[in-house]
Amino acid sequence: MKMWRLLWKNLWRNKRRALLTGSSVAVSLFLLSSLAIVYVALGKPIEGAENAPIVMVRRAAGIALPLPASYQAKIEAVPGVVAVCKVNWFGGYWKDPSNQFSNFAVDAETVFDVQMASKIPPDQLQAFKSERVAAVAGRGLIEKYHWKIGDRITLLGSPYGITPELILRGIFTGGPDDSLFFQWDYLNEAMGRLNFTGMYWVRVNPTEVAPRVGQAIDQMFRNTDAETKTESLSAFLLGFVSMLGNVRGIILMVGCAVTFAILLIVANTMAMSIRERIAEAAVMRSLGFRAAHILGLFVGESLFLTMGGAVVGVGGAKILYDLLALRRIGQFIPADMRMRPETVLFCFALAIGMGLLASGLPAYRASRLNIAQALRFVG
């Protein structure tokens, strides 16, 4: 207990230096945590997506090319397929171009059979199915734009060149709750019944059969005018992320630079502190303190600085990003930007590692220095 009190007093011996160093570490770790959040989100856009019982069927030649609507019945006949939903990304906005969000034309009859994570009251689902101009929106959108059941929502600026005027008939929770769905039949009629769809969402059961189902679907349409590529939800999302280029590599390089900067800050502070107290350490050893005690005091101060900065910086990043609940980068790239437990553990482990590296060598030398030489040392 006495050692802890001594460590604490030594840490605050120079309050200004301790506060400035701790603040620098906190700001740097906040930045590092932000980079780590983006890095993890780009590598795993939605946690658990790799185990989701959903596969995405798109045109093999490119996601921008459509598939025939007649494929739905054939896909439904594949063993292991539970439900199939036609989906067209619409790309409209509400009132102002700044009000961008995900909006899709979907098969009203099957969309919530595929998106089992999304929950909607039965009466609202029935209203969505029975009215051609009906739309349903996720709870996230409802809260953001203060919509309510019965509101008229006009989607503008779509590349399809049409302006659907929709009536909100339902609110769903879970799943992509920052999205709006309206009827695929409505879009198909407005486009002159072209009977094409952008992709298919396919639910399989059990999840383990997803690779086999994907192979069966792609084999079925091989050598046709519209060959398919079936991907897991995780692979599909990572395909969108890849459009950004090697962003993860850039984030990794910036993160390494930030880590090195934190290490220099703490190492410089601890080197100054230890150098100033070489003679004091010699006096302590002459009074009976062991070399291990001196080493522990110096290293402990460094760990207090880095861990204190981690509590403020990493903790602040977690609170901020959890409150913001960002779910995508721009309009197209899905990414859950909340801080995940493994990211928190990584940042704290990094703080401990930097604390040990920054003080380890100078603290070891100070603790092993000959007492007579240390007493004559001038810092």
Nearest-angstrom CA–CA distance, 214 and 229: 8
Nearest-angstrom CA–CA distance, 36 and 349: 13
Q: What is the pLDDT along the chain (379 residues), one digit of tens a residue?
A: 566 777 777 777 778 888 888 888 899 899 999 998 888 877 776 655 555 788 999 999 888 899 999 999 999 999 999 999 999 999 899 999 888 888 999 999 999 999 888 899 999 999 999 999 999 999 989 999 999 999 999 999 998 989 999 999 999 998 778 889 999 999 999 998 889 999 999 999 888 888 899 999 999 999 999 999 999 877 777 776 666 667 788 888 998 888 888 888 888 888 877 777 777 777 777 777 787 777 888 888 888 888 998 999 999 999 998 888 777 665 556 677 788 888 999 999 999 998 888 888 888 887 777 666 656 655 5
> Which three-class secondary structure state does DSSP give residue 91?
coil
Q: How far is CA 175 from CA 46, 86, 134, 138, 262, in A?
A: 10, 17, 20, 8, 38
End-to-end Cα, the chain, rounded Å: 29
Report domain extents, the chain: 2-46+245-376, 66-225
Which pTM value belongs to this model? 0.72
Output helix, strand, coil percentages for the chain, rounded to the nearest 5.
55, 20, 30
pLDDT of residue 316: 93
Give 96: exposed, middle or buried? Use CB within 10 Å, 0-12, 13-18, 19+.
exposed
Per residue in 215-237, is it b (16+ CB within 10 Å) or e — as a string? ebbbeebeeeeeebbbbbbbebb
* Amino acid (1-letter code) at residue 206: P
pLDDT of residue 288: 74
